[in-house]
Structure 1
Amino acid sequence: MAKNSSLRAVGWARSLPVSSGVKAARDWTRAHLATLSWAQDDPELVDSVLLAVSELVTNAHVHAHSAAQLILTWDEECLHVTVHDASPQLPEPRNPGDGALGGRGLLLVDALADRWEAYRCPRGKNVTVCFQADGGTEPHPVAE
């Protein structure tokens, strides 16, 4: 998106009931990311976003036993991925043992994203991660 553009942010939101599964979240996210140039310019970053979405939506469904509200916002500097769930319990990174089958989701998110935060809100919590393009590649809308 050009800096002189009058459009300063774009965003999308979707509710994902527990029954929808994480694949629906990834597919929906992939479709919206395809409208930005990152799909062509930085496919590894798209993969990182999709993995983070998988982890955050899984956490909402499994640990909060809640539907997940998935929100994507591009503000010309950062792609914000926010997942809201109904639990006020903030996530905490764990240190799983070598043989543990789970417990690495937030460690992955922390490694993939430029930054992340979690905060309580009136009806649960939000976990937001930020992704910035490497090397100054700025996503822009793709002409259809």
Structure 2
Amino acid sequence: MSESSVRAVGWARSLPIDSSVKAARDWARERLRALGWTTDAPDTADAVLLTVSELVTNAHLHAHSDAQLILAWDNRCLHVVVHDASPALPTPRSPDNESLGGRGMLLVEALADSWQSRRCPYGKIVTACFRPHLVHQEDDASS
């Protein structure tokens, strides 16, 4: 294998609009368990699960769409990707103190190492990347 090759593992799941966000979270938890994150990086695993909840909720509630959830681990970053049918991009906004909602993307921004959204031919994708604490230590050791 060449030096530029990336070793990755990934999973995908379609979540119809009538499915529960809990189903998405439970599915993601099993993938995190397979990676060892629930034991080795529980804080990061919790951040991923909260992000999955927020992004799938946004797809169902705001985009009025099914959600396609993809988790891809490339040995440096876990990419949490959600596709929905709306081309409207999410933006963090200042929450209204009187409102119960409006804080989802602020949470994602605070929890993820990075995030981005972009339009695609059939809607948009939102991607949040997470590096578990162990990866940060390895990065620091190689510096």
**Same fold, TM-score > 0.5, yes or no:** yes
Q: Is the 8 A contact 1:41 1:137 kept in 2?
A: no
The percentage of counterpart residues that share the same residue type is: 64
The runs of at least 4 consecutive aligned structure 1 residues that moved more than 2 Å come to 135-138
Contact 1:81 1:128 in 2 (8 A): yes
Distance between the aligned counterparts of 2:6 and 2:17, measured in 1? 34
**Which residue in the other structure is 2:54 paired with?**
55
TM-score (norm 2): 0.89
Higher percent of residues as helix: 2
Distance 2:7 2:130 in 1: 17
RMSD: 1.7
Tell me, which stretches of 5 or more residues in structure 2 are unaligned? Answer: 138-143
Normalising by structure 1, we get a TM-score of 0.88
Match of 1:101 in 2: 100
Whether the 8 Å contact between 1:9 and 1:75 is mirrored in structure 2 is yes
SS of the residue corresponding to residue 34 of structure 2 reads: coil
Distance in 1 (alpha carbons) for counterparts of 2:6 and 2:106: 34
**Cα pair 1:77 1:132 within 8 Å, conserved:** yes
Q: 1: distance between equivalents of 2:6 and 2:98?
A: 48
- What is the CA–CA distance in structure 2 between the aligned matches of 1:135 and 1:36, rounded to whole Å? 12
- With a CA cutoff of 8 Å and minimum separation of 6, indicate the structure with the bigger relative contact order: 1
- Over residues 40-98 of structure 1, what are the superposed CA-to-partner deviations in whole Å (9 max), with x where a residue is unaligned? 11111111000000000000000000000000000011000000000011111111122
State how far apart, in whole Å, the 2-side matches of 1:125 and 1:137 are: 30
The equivalent of 2:118 in structure 1 is 119
Larger mean CA deviation between 127-136 and 17-26 belongs to 127-136
Amino acid at match of 1:12: W
Residue 106 of structure 1 and its aligned partner are, at CA, apart by 0.2
> Would you say the 8 A contact 1:33–1:39 is kept in 2?
yes
